[in-house]
Amino acid sequence: RNYERFLPPKAFIHVDDFPSVKKLAQYLLKLWRDPILARRHLDWRGGYSLHQPKFWDEHYCTACRAARRTRGQTHAVKHLA
C-alpha cells in the first residue's frame, strides 16, 4: 500500500477497504449508477501533477541535500515496501 503515500485519498479503490468481495462489487455498482459519486474518484486529477526529472543532476542535487540534512547520520530501512 505504499502508493497511498503518493496519491490523494479517493484516488483509487482498494480492495482491502472492503470486508468482502460482495461489498466491493456493491460499491462498484453504486459508482456505476451514480456518476457524481464516481467523479469523486477522478476529481484529484485536476490538481495533481507529476514531476519527472529530465537530467541526472537533479537527482544528484536531491541526494546532496539529503546528505547535508542528515549531517552524516545513517538510518537503515528494513522493510522498504
Q: What is the pLDDT of residue 46?
A: 80
pLDDT tens readout for residues 9-28: 788 888 889 999 999 999 99
pTM listed for this prediction: 0.53
Encode 17-56 in three state secondary structure. Answer: HCCCHHHHHHHHHHHHHCHHHHHCCCHHHHHCCCCCCCCH
pLDDT of 32 strictly over 90: yes
Tell me: the pLDDT tens digits for 37-75? 999 888 888 877 777 767 767 667 777 888 788 777 777
Provide the 10 A C-beta neighbour count for residue 11.
16
- Within 13 A of 16's CA, how many CA atoms are on the CB side? 2
Residue with the larger pLDDT of the pair 26 and 76: 26
Measured between alpha carbons, how far apart are the two ends of the chain, in Å? 8
Q: How far apart are CA 13 and CA 67, in angstroms?
A: 36
pLDDT at residue 30 tops 80? yes
